[in-house]
Structure 1
Amino acid sequence: MPASQQRLTVGDANMTAYLSIPDGDGPFPAVVVAHHAPGVDMFIREIVDHLARDGYVAAAPDLFHRITKEMVEQTGRSKRDQLSDPDTIEDVNATVDFLRSHESVDRDRLGITGFCMGGRVVWLAACTNPHFKAAVPFYGGNILVPWGATETAPFALAEGINCPMLFHFGEADSNPSADDMRTLDDELTRLGKEHRFYSYPGANHAFMNRFMPQRHHRTSAEMAWARTREFLAEQLQPAPVG
């Protein structure tokens, strides 16, 4: 299962992406992995590698590539707080184009998952890129508010979602809260979008991350990941022949 750092071109900039490819002969379905606020760290790389072992080409782009340490120091704002939705859309689209042109990828079987701010990215990407066949946000907060150079929140773009969505929430989480979950659920139901929402008792934000013992909730994480694997297999595996 080879893993590597890839360099992608986004406009006039370069963006790295952590890529993992399954062993064996392709083409394989592919999954974009949107990272959380700490970036493409050990947890995100582990998720990418887990997906590759399950038979997906998986790639985690560095959505912070435009934001330097100097920008953080000068503004006093974190990298996450300096993200802009139009840039994020551009970065996800570049990752999609990279995967769809990769020799190991079946370009018609593409999904996306993400964690924390990456869960928000999943919703935004599903609204704005037509190539996704499955979307799996984990505890994506701030979907109801815009970020950066736009006045339109991801929530307001939900009409553009054209793939099934599986959304995981921590019952003890405040962002997204239980009220947020109901708002998102109601909107997808109103629009007739196929979706499944799960809320995990005793789980808080970042419950999937075993590298954060204070937040990790093993029972919920195992259940959520099992559901994710099943969902991705349903949506991204080829239809039976004959």
Structure 2
Amino acid sequence: MQSPGPEFDSLLPPLVLNRRGFITTSLASGFALAAGPIAAQTVVRTDDQGLVAGEVRIPVEGGEIPAYRAMPAGRKQAPVILVVHEIFGVHEYIKDVCRRWAKAGYLAVAPQLYARQGDPSQYQEIPRLMSEVVAKAPDEQVMADLDATARWAAGHGGSRTRLGVTGFCWGGRVVWLYAAHNPAVKAGAAFYGPLTPKPTALQPLAPVDVAAQLKAPVLGLYGGQDAGIPLTSVNAMKDALAKGSPAARASTFVLFRNAPHGFHADYRPSYRDAEAKEAWTLARDWFAQRL
């Protein structure tokens, strides 16, 4: 395999560290409280045999943020997948997703993108979590932290040229934005991320707003029974992609007509086994062809 060159670093904005007493906590153990009762009978549990897995620290502007990393033991220059969490942050489900990608040969890393706003695992009510943490995470900060995570991965066993991004719900929205932000990304897979949310001062753009500027093709995996993401939203995104860049036009949607929002979240009642497994296979094939 050809050794990666310096072009990856040149594609990312320069990393500026400013240590102003930045304080972060460790990642949650178990599942986030606001996720509700855990459907233990359907939880997928992936072991770490043959992997290097655990919590790491990512240098970002102002200090460090915690992240969960999993990769094949002894593997060098593994393709990298950034895993973007749901509103609940990096908890056991997201950690397990990282281990699943590692078992497939990737360095998967999930940064805690709310580290400056609070600890999402300790919230018991979703409305409070949304207003006090999620809504206060600026898109600009999220993009910069993902850039920093990609850099960290490239210096810790990951490839500098083979970079993908995937995410769920809130993280699915971020996948679309990041595929438009970072020219180093080669592919994305968005699980039921909102496509046309109302803009806010801190989160001013929706995926439909940046669709035409995608720098990497994205696979959209969506549920036909998702009450929060209607088919009109999906169709609007398809129209925007069709008028965009080559990467935008290469993007595609798979709609699971009988699946609700969160159909891949095996720890929640929304989980749908058949659709989740099919979506995972599609995402795995999507990345295998592009990374």
With normalisation by structure 2, the TM-score equals 0.75
- Cα deviation, 1:79-133, whole Å, max 9, x if unaligned, reads 222221111111111111112222x112110100000000011011111111110
C-alpha spacing 1:69/1:132, structure 2 compared with 1 (3 Å): closer
Equivalent residue for 1:176, pick from 226, 229, 236:
229
Q: Distance in 1 between matches of 2:206 and 2:75?
A: 41
Structure 1 residue 220 corresponds to structure 2 residue 275: yes
Please list, as runs of the form range in 1=range in 2, the aligned pairs for 1:58-69 lying within 5 A after superposition: 58-68=108-118
Q: Distance in 2 between matches of 1:78 and 1:202?
A: 33
Q: Which ranges of structure 2 fall in alignment gaps of 5 or more residues?
A: 1-50
Compute the RMSD of aligned alpha carbons.
2.0
**What is the count of residue pairs matched by the alignment?**
232
- Cα deviation, 1:38-94, whole Å, max 9, x if unaligned, reads 111111111100000000000000011011269x89x95242222211111111111
Q: Distance in 2 between matches of 1:149 and 1:22?
A: 37
- What amino acid sits opposite 1:47 in the alignment? V
Structure 1 residue 49 corresponds to structure 2 residue 116: no
What's 1:197 paired with? 253
Please list, as runs of the form range in 1=range in 2, the aligned pairs for 1:105-120 lying within 5 A after superposition: 105-120=158-173
- What amino acid sits opposite 1:2 in the alignment? V
- What amino acid sits opposite 2:229 in the alignment? P
Q: Distance in 2 between matches of 1:210 and 1:109?
A: 28
Structure 1 residue 99 corresponds to structure 2 residue 153: yes
Q: Secondary structure at the match of 1:21?
A: strand
C-alpha spacing 1:231/1:210, structure 2 compared with 1 (3 Å): same
Percent identity of the aligned residues?
30
C-alpha spacing 1:19/1:219, structure 2 compared with 1 (3 Å): same
Q: Which ranges of structure 1 fall in alignment gaps of 5 or more residues?
A: 237-242
With normalisation by structure 1, the TM-score equals 0.89
C-alpha spacing 1:142/1:163, structure 2 compared with 1 (3 Å): closer
Q: Distance in 2 between matches of 1:151 and 1:51?
A: 31
C-alpha spacing 1:230/1:150, structure 2 compared with 1 (3 Å): closer
What's 2:209 paired with? 156
Contact persistence 1:142–1:175 (CA under 8 A) = no
Q: Distance in 1 between matches of 2:185 and 2:64?
A: 23
Deviation at 1:144, TM superposition (A): 4.1
- What amino acid sits opposite 1:56 in the alignment? Y
What's 2:138 paired with? 84
- What amino acid sits opposite 1:234 in the alignment? Q
